[in-house]
Amino acid sequence: MSDRRAKTGRMTRQRMAHTMPVNAPIFPEPPFYYRDMERLIFVYETDPNAVLDVLPEGLELREPATAVVAFLDIPVCTLGRYYEAFQSVHATFAGKPVQYVVHNLLTSDAAVAVGREIWGVPKKMAHVRIEKHAEGMLGYVERPLGQRICEGFVRPERLMPRSEAKPFGEPLLTLRVIPHPEGKDPLIELIEHFSPETNNHKVTDEWYERQLRGPGSLRFDAQSAIDPWHCLPVVKMVDAFYSGGPWSFELPYGRILKTY
């Protein structure tokens, strides 16, 4: 006589991974380990009203209104090898200087998933590259391929003073929005995604010898409605530099600063 009793699934909470798919997660658990990252950094003054339009409630504008565009070449990481570009603005939270991340484009599906799920980093897949030419160094991001959202160029000319060459300057804040599956109000949280106090960064003398500043320019070719980096226009260039060399850091869990 056959056994007609109902059979239930064996994927219990204890067997589930920390993220989806629960039997084949797209990324491991934090902390994530980074080695020998290269960066092109562009700092510029922008329209203060444009900054206020994107700053969440609870963050205050830091004057003069300043934005940052960074292009990253990440050769060794526990999330895999990828390129990334982000745009942030200077602000304060609870009286302390922070940077709020407005846009983030990169080449890794695992890094997109972990950034959005854990910290609410506004990540999307795109084509990002850093190129080294005889004339200088070029960083750019395209979405879709061929539509250049942003391009930055710097000619490294002089060594940065050690007092100004910092692996991480200020915490990066993000806004995580988790939609409700029944269409109710989403869960919205302001999160400290990245902090110099928790990243355990280590640099060497060689790293300081590869922090190079020079004349730079930044432009937003595409007036994209879905990736509106151009809405934070360049009013005045403040700084441009290349950052490379042997260094290491960790990316652990962050912390929730405010729930909306």
**pLDDT value at 104 more than 90:** yes
To the question of pTM greater than 0.85 for the whole model, the response is yes
The 10s digit of each residue's pLDDT in 115-146 is 999 999 999 999 999 999 999 999 999 999 99
Whole-number pLDDT of residue 2: 60
Domains of the chain, by residue range, sit at 33-259
**3-class state of residue 89 by DSSP:** strand
Distances (CA, A) of 120 to 187, 203, 260: 11, 28, 14
Which is nearest to 175 in space by CA: 187, 190, 185? 190
pLDDT of residue 6: 86
Q: What is the mean pLDDT of residues 94-122?
A: 97
**Considering just the CA atoms, what is the radius of gyration of the chain in Å?**
20
**The pLDDT of residue 91 is above 70:** yes
Asked whether the beta carbons of 8 and 47 are under 8 A apart, the reply is no
What's the CATH number for 33-259?
A: 2.40.400.10
* 8 A C-beta contact, residue 223 and residue 230: yes
Residue of 121, 81, 120, 89 whose CA lies nearest to 105: 121
Q: pLDDT per residue over 16-41, tens digit each?
A: 998 989 999 999 999 999 999 999 99
In this prediction, residue 55 has a pLDDT band, given cuts at 50, 70 and 90, of: very high
